[in-house]
Chain A
């Protein structure tokens, strides 16, 4: 078994574009769930409207690329308001139900034959990312032995980690402010906040919009880095993997979602590489009656799930979380 290969696969994914997509989505979920206590199970929906906002504007409507970027910022804001108005006055679980359903509805509409003209059906949309590619200042690939990025990925990684850093800075600035204090208080007990004269609905809406915009940014970045928008990329899985990343890193911590995403992808890619090598070839190390190579690609998720369970049992606050915040429970 080649450990170098394992490490290279793990590191390249952990620092690569996929981890950035998850980090951005998880920063949004951190604002929703970690700080405000809003259960958004439809982050994939926010990602998809942003991605399709760009692609539809640029390709289907044949408008300028930068207008497409503007649309991909506006679409998640609009979605957040549409979802928030009926649900944010209700108990927390309603938002969860509505967001998960909306994300699925959006994915099915984007992939439907009926709207093939507008959204490209299950094949999705390509051909909008030229401007983004042309901006790439790099001339070749990066190869550090244990870390290898193609020319395109190198550009995406540069743009992506810059966005993540700016996002973390914004979250840090906001959450140390009295505004952040109101959000954290809403997470604890909305009625108490209401009794002190704060418009809880408005704050929840602001949090939903801001977190949704980070979801949108994740979708936009995903669309740019792979130069195609495909409905299957925005399945509910991606929301729950982003939650996994958030919980690994630690909710309600600025760097929690970022570190969580890095670790999540390090594990997924590293384990994938290990199991792949164990089952690869004509004479695999693991006998085929125990595990075939198709099974191997799935076992990593089982192992990751097991790891997450152990984490929740022995370190429920995540890597960065504050033990004290978890230890004090209820009234």
Chain B
């Protein structure tokens, strides 16, 4: 795919968000997901209580908020992995709030998991092949007859090979997925999700447990998803990532959407800073002298005693 051309094509879409007011539940010019009155209760706890949410097509939207804000629960609800107490939402204009998870995925809304779910006793290549949809060999009455699905399997393998090269996992393709490092598993999960060819890809903490070197390449991969014309929604605690790559940020706290806007606007919002980011969120830790930080921490600990 020609990356540069695609970037140009998506630029107007990014621009389209300029006119969107920076407020919770803001209407977007071209939403791919629209949800209303979504609520989910766990016992007495209202984990998700979202009045209105819209996700703009073709951009990268970040979903941030403190632990327990309901981000992952909202992910589970939208993708059919959990059932809401109330609420409805549409994907591409079609209501999908009562559609089972596997059908949601087939329609083009694919998620990854906070704790990666690679199939550790299958090879990396087998993990990838599993992602392809509409496989004839996956039907039991065709499965015993190799000649029926051989050709399709070859096509799937070619596509998987291309993706593995792009995600730099091609050297590992015959290894068991269980032998991959944490960061490589994140990459594999993302690559496998792409085998489904989703319109909307939902990443649950793609940076968690990933080392800094791999982080940069993961950032590049997420951007390239947008540049291919896909919509990305991701949950993340890593503010550097949110600042770097997201076009729009939705902030959740205690199950509600408390703020929305461009990264710059949200990070400057006093309520967001108080509720989540903390006063020093702007300080880039890599700029500080590590020895100085260590010294300061030691002093604080000693004083604390």
- In the complex the two chains form, what is the Cα distance from A188 to B130 in whole Å? 13
Chain B residues within 8 Å of A185, by CB:
119, 122, 130
Contact pick for B140, options A176, A206, A330, CB 8 Å: A206
| Known contacts A170-B144, A177-B143, A328-B178; A192 and B119 CB within 8 A of each other | yes
Chain A residues within 8 Å of B120, by CB:
188, 328-331
Distance in Å: Cβ of A271 to nearest Cβ of chain B: 34
- In the complex the two chains form, what is the Cα distance from A177 to B101 in whole Å? 24
Chain B residues within 8 Å of A198, by CB:
102, 130, 138
Q: Is the CB–CB distance between A328 and B118 below 8 Å?
A: no
- In the complex the two chains form, what is the Cα distance from A170 to B143 in whole Å? 10
B111-125, CB under 8 A of A: which get 1 and which 0?
111011111111000
B94 within 8 A of A: no
Interface bracket on B: 35 or more
Chain B residues within 8 Å of A194, by CB:
81, 101-102, 105
B46 within 8 A of A: no
Chain A residues within 8 Å of B142, by CB:
179
B135 within 8 A of A: yes
Q: Is the CB–CB distance between A173 and B192 below 8 Å?
A: no
- In the complex the two chains form, what is the Cα distance from A329 to B145 in whole Å? 33
Q: Is the CB–CB distance between A179 and B140 below 8 Å?
A: yes
B166 within 8 A of A: no
A178 within 8 A of B: yes
- In the complex the two chains form, what is the Cα distance from A302 to B112 in whole Å? 48
Closest to A189 in B: B117
| Known contacts A197-B105, A197-B106; A328 and B176 CB within 8 A of each other | yes
Chain B residues within 8 Å of A193, by CB:
130
- In the complex the two chains form, what is the Cα distance from A103 to B178 in whole Å? 37
Contact pick for B149, options A178, A188, A191, A331, CB 8 Å: A178
Chain B residues within 8 Å of A130, by CB:
none
- In the complex the two chains form, what is the Cα distance from A331 to B186 in whole Å? 12
Chain B residues within 8 Å of A174, by CB:
140, 143-144
A143 within 8 A of B: no
B228 within 8 A of A: no
- In the complex the two chains form, what is the Cα distance from A170 to B141 in whole Å? 12
Chain B residues within 8 Å of A328, by CB:
120-121, 176, 178-179
Closest to B116 in A: A331
B153 within 8 A of A: yes
Q: Is the CB–CB distance between B139 and A196 below 8 Å?
A: no
Q: Is the CB–CB distance between B113 and A195 below 8 Å?
A: yes
Q: Is the CB–CB distance between B118 and A179 below 8 Å?
A: no
Chain B residues within 8 Å of A324, by CB:
176
Q: Is the CB–CB distance between B110 and A196 below 8 Å?
A: yes
- In the complex the two chains form, what is the Cα distance from A114 to B20 in whole Å? 75
- In the complex the two chains form, what is the Cα distance from A324 to B193 in whole Å? 26
Interface bracket on A: 20 to 34
| Known contacts A192-B117, A328-B179; A179 and B143 CB within 8 A of each other | yes
A116 within 8 A of B: no
A9 within 8 A of B: no
A residues 198-249 touching B (CB-CB < 8 Å) = 198-200, 206, 210
Q: Is the CB–CB distance between B133 and A197 below 8 Å?
A: yes
Chain B residues within 8 Å of A325, by CB:
121, 176
A97-136, CB under 8 A of B: which get 1 and which 0?
0000000000000000000000000000000000000000
Chain A residues within 8 Å of B136, by CB:
178
Contact pick for B113, options A188, A191, A197, A329, CB 8 Å: A191
B161 within 8 A of A: no
Q: Is the CB–CB distance between A196 and B131 below 8 Å?
A: yes
B residues 139-163 touching A (CB-CB < 8 Å) = 139-140, 142-146, 149, 153
A182 within 8 A of B: yes
Chain B residues within 8 Å of A329, by CB:
120, 178
Chain A residues within 8 Å of B178, by CB:
328-329, 331
Contact pick for A177, options B113, B118, B149, B193, CB 8 Å: B149
B residues 81-137 touching A (CB-CB < 8 Å) = 81, 100-103, 105-106, 110-113, 115-122, 126, 129-131, 133, 135-137
- In the complex the two chains form, what is the Cα distance from A182 to B103 in whole Å? 16
Closest to B141 in A: A179
Q: Is the CB–CB distance between A196 and B196 below 8 Å?
A: yes
- In the complex the two chains form, what is the Cα distance from A23 to B193 in whole Å? 39
Q: Known pairs A178-B135, A178-B143, A195-B101. 20 more at Cβ < 8 A?
A: A173-B143, A174-B144, A178-B136, A178-B138, A184-B122, A185-B119, A188-B119, A188-B121, A193-B130, A194-B102, A196-B131, A196-B133, A197-B103, A197-B196, A198-B102, A198-B130, A200-B102, A210-B140, A328-B176, A331-B118
A-B contact pairs, 14 of them (CB 8 A): A174-B140, A178-B138, A179-B140, A179-B142, A185-B119, A187-B121, A191-B113, A195-B113, A196-B110, A196-B195, A198-B102, A199-B102, A328-B121, A331-B185
Complex A-B, nearest 7 residue pairs according to Cβ-Cβ distance, in ascending order = A328-B178, A178-B137, A179-B143, A192-B117, A177-B143, A197-B105, A173-B144
Binding site for A on B (CB under 8 A): 79, 81, 100-103, 105-106, 110-113, 115-122, 126, 129-131, 133, 135-140, 142-146, 149, 153, 176, 178-179, 185, 192-193, 195-196
